[in-house]
Each structure stands twice: as structure tokens, then as C-alpha cells.
Amino acid sequence: MSAVIIVLIAIAALAVGVAAGYWLPPHGHRPSAERPAPVRRILLPFTGPEISRRAFEAAMRLAKAENATIMPAFLARVPRNLPLDSPLPAQCSLGMPLLEAIEQRATAQGVQVDARIARGRTYRDALRRLLEQESFDRIIVSATNNRNAGLSADDLEWLLERVPAEVMILRPSPTDTRRIYADVAGHF
């Protein structure tokens, strides 16, 4: 009789152990229930191998404050003589190290990241296609004095008029000389 009881107790203990192993979080990990799911998505589009540090820091501050996911998006241009769905490995070689760099820095600060690459005939076209596929709560772009780089003044005006999201445009500042760029060649 006592042997049966011992066996039953052992079986019960095993069941409790298995159940605990399944339901309890592993050591060192916070249970997911304690971490509220992110509800907001902040798009941070860029077109080259570096971005303004002000834009990045603004995105990080907002993402932390709102528990949002930051979505860095590299915009690539497809030359007119190539089909729109052409692979763009050369441009990706330029943009992807920065995506990696942003992801590393954001993750290290506890901000969730979900990166994107979008392509189009122009930067605006690439952004338009991305916005057609997905919705974002906020878009952060930095204006630039360089007419040949990034999104133009027309593009920014288009963003403000057409995009159903909060658009934050950081105007160029003489003191904004600091950039974030990726020096991760060979390590991502």
C-alpha cells in the first residue's frame, strides 16, 4: 500500500514539475505577461549609409516613451532600365550595415526593432509602396540642406499631405553635424 502511495506521489510530483517547466518562465527571462505588447510603430526611413543622429535619438526617445517598435527602413531606388522587382544587392550593401547598426543600438536600449527594405523608382515611390503595405503611427525624417541626398522638400510636403500618420520632420541644424553610420563591414 505504502509503495503505491509513494509511486502516486512520485507521479504527481513529476506532473507538477513538467507543468511548472512549461508554464514558468526560464531563469533570467521576464515573463511575457509583464511586458506590455508594443502598440505603436515608428517608421525611420533613410536612403544612404548614414542618418542624422538627431533623427535617430528622437525616434529612440519616442519609442521608449510610447513602448513602440521602431522600424528603420532603407529606401532603395530601382533604375529605370531595370524591372521594379529587380534585386538590388549593390544598394543593399550600402544600406544594410546601417540597418544592422540601428538594430543593435536600439535593441541594446530595450527598444524593439522591426527593419524593412523598400524599393521604388524614386525614394518617394519606395516610401509610398511601403506605406501602402503597412501602417505606421509616426514617421520621423530629417530634412537636409543637400538637394541631392535623401528625401527632397517635395517629398516631405507629400508626406505631410498624403500620409495618414504623424510626421515628425527634424529641420537641419548647424549644430547637427553628428551622424550615425555603420562601420560593421565584416561583422554583421
Partner 1 sequence: MSDDARPGVSSAAGGMQEPRRGHLRVFLGMAAGVGKTFRMLMEGHAEQESGHDVVIGLLETHGRADTATLAEGLPMVPRRRMVYRGTELEEMDLPGILRRAPEICLIDELAHTNAPGLEHAKRYEDVEDVLNAGIDVLSTLNVQHLDSLNDRIAELTGIRVRETIPDDVLGRADEIVMIDLTPEALLDRLRAGKVYPPERIGAALNNFFRVENLAALREVALRQVAEEVGHKRLTTEYVGSRGESLAAEAPQAVGERLLALVEPYPGAQRLVRRAWRSAQRLSADLDLLWVRPPSGHLSDDEERSLAALRQLASVLGVRLLVEESDNVPGAVAEVAQRQGTTYILMGGSRTARGLSRLRTPLPQRLMELLPGVDVRIVADRARRSESSERIGGIEDHQ
Q: Is 81 in the site for partner 1 (CB under 8 A)?
A: yes
- Size of interface with partner 1, in residues (CB under 8 A): 53
Residues 6 or more apart in contact with residue 136 via CB below 8 angstroms: 41, 42, 43, 71, 165
Q: Is 99 in the site for partner 1 (CB under 8 A)?
A: yes
**Which range of residues in 5-13, 88-96, 149-157, 159-167 is near partner 1 by CB under 8 A?**
88-96
Give the Cβ contact number of residue 144 at 10 Å.
19
Write the single-letter amino acid at 13.
A
Q: Is 104 in the site for partner 1 (CB under 8 A)?
A: yes
Considering only 93, 166, 172, 173, the residue that binds partner 1 (CB under 8 A) is 93
Residue 22 cell numbers, joined: 512549461
Q: Is 122 in the site for partner 1 (CB under 8 A)?
A: no
Residue 131 CA: distances (Å) to CA of 2, 9, 16, 45, 58: 69, 59, 49, 11, 21
Give the shortest CB-45-to-partner 1 separation in angstroms: 14
Q: CA–CA separation, 116 vs 41, rounded Å?
A: 12
Contact set with partner 1 (CB under 8 A): 18-19, 21-22, 26, 29, 53, 69, 76, 78-82, 85-93, 96, 99-101, 103-108, 112-119, 133-134, 177-184, 187-188
